Amino acid sequence: MARQFASLDHISGGRAAWNVVTSANDFAARNFGHAKLAPHAERYARAREYVDVAKQLWDSWEDDAFVRDRASGLFFDPAKQHPVHDEGAHFKVDGALNIARAPQGHPVIIQAGASDTGKDFAAETAEVVFASNASIPRAKAFYDDLKGRMPAYGRHPDSLKVLTGLPLVVAETDAEARDIYQSLQELIDPVVGRMRLGMDLELDLSDLPLDEPIPEYLIPRAANLHKAYFDRIVEMIRTEKLTLRQLYMRYERGNTTLCGSVKTVADQMQALLEAGAADGFMLNFPVLPAGLEVFVAKVVPELQRRGIFRTDYTGATLRDHLGLARPSSRHVGPEAHAAG
C-alpha cells in the first residue's frame, strides 16, 4: 500500500491522498477471509499501527538519496537509506521501500471518524477530516472537539483541516432546487432504500412494511460500524417518528442536502466558515457533471466576489492547495533532532 501511494504521488505530481478507513461493513471483512469486522476499538488499534508503519516506509529514503552518479557508479547514497525494522501487534516489516520519497513527502492523510476513538485517531494522525454535521452548532461542536484533542499529541490545530460534507442542489430559486431534490429522492428504489438504511442501522429491514415506523425494540443497542450514521438514524426514528419509506428518502449519511439559489448556498458556506465550524468543504452532487458545472459557473464566482474562495493557486501539490506543510523526513527533520 505504501508503495502504491508513493507511486501515485509521483505519477500525479504530488496530488495523492489516502482516506484511512477502518471499514464499516461485514462485506469488507468477508472479502478478506473474515466472518465479520473486528470490534470497533480493535480496528482503530490496527489502523494506528498501519498508518505508523506506512509513514516509516515513506521515510525510508531521504529526499535526495538517489544521486544517480554515472561517473562513480553510485546510484544512491547508502547513508540516506533508512530501512524499517518494525514489529508490532499487527504487522512486521523489515526493509526499505523500493521507491523514492514521494513529492509530498507523505500523501495527505484523510479520515472521517466521528466516535471518540475515531476523533482521537484523527487528532493524532489525520491532516484532513471529512465531517458530516448538518447544522452549524453541531459542526462547530465537532470542529472544536476534534481540534481541542490535537495538543495532547503534540500537534498544532492548523495542521489539520476539517472539510464539512455539503451535498448540493443549486438552481435559480430555492423552490426550484427543492423540487429537483424531491424528484430525485422519489426515484430511490425501495430495495436500495432499505439496504442503504439497514447497512448503517446494522439491521435487516427487508421484511418490514414501508409505510410504518421501524419498531424501536428491533434497533441494536450500539453501533459497531458507523457510529455517527447509526446515531443519526436512531435520532430520526425517535424524534421524527418517520415511516421506513420516509426515513430512507430523508436519510443522507449524516448530511442534509443544501437546496437553494446561488445566494442561499453561498450564504450557508460563508456562515459555516465564519462560525469556525469548517475549514472547507467536501462537495457532493446528486447528478454529475451537471451539478458540478452549475456550481463552478455560478457559485464559485460569488464566493470569489465575497473574498472567501481563491482566485489563483499558489502551489502545485494537493498539500499546497490545502495549506498543509510538507512533512520532513523523520531522519533529517525536527523529529530526528528530537530523537538525537
CA angle 109, 162, 160 (to 5 degrees): 50
**pTM for the full predicted model:** 0.84
Q: Which amino acid is at 200?
A: D
In a domain, 201, yes or no: no
pLDDT in tens, 154-168: 999 999 999 999 999
336 has a pLDDT exceeding 70: no
pLDDT in tens, 223-235: 877 777 888 888 8
**38-52, 111-125, 246-260: range with lowest mean pLDDT:** 246-260
In a domain, 279, yes or no: no
Does residue 68 or residue 25 have the better pLDDT? Answer: 68
Sign (positive/negative) of CA torsion 23, 95, 325, 90? positive
Partnered with residue 12 across adjacent β-strands are: none
Average pLDDT, the chain: 92
Residue 335 is predicted with a pLDDT of 56
Residue 340 is predicted with a pLDDT of 47
Domain with 15 in it: 2-165+319-339
User: Residue holding cell 438504511?
Assistant: 197
Kind and range of the H or E run holding 109:
strand 108-111
Kindly state the average pLDDT of the residues 171-177.
Answer: 97
What is the distance between the alpha carbons of residues 335 and 158, in angstroms, rounded to a whole number?
19
In a domain, 262, yes or no: no
Check which CATH number belongs to the domain holding 97 and give it: 3.20.20.30
In a domain, 37, yes or no: yes
Q: Per the structure, how many domains does the chain have?
A: 1
Residue 294 — very low, low, confident or very high, per pLDDT cuts 50/70/90? very high
What is the distance between the alpha carbons of residues 255 and 285, in angstroms, rounded to a whole number?
12
In a domain, 135, yes or no: yes
Residue 334 — very low, low, confident or very high, per pLDDT cuts 50/70/90? low
Neighbours of 68 (CB within 10 A): 7
In a domain, 158, yes or no: yes
In a domain, 77, yes or no: yes
In a domain, 56, yes or no: yes
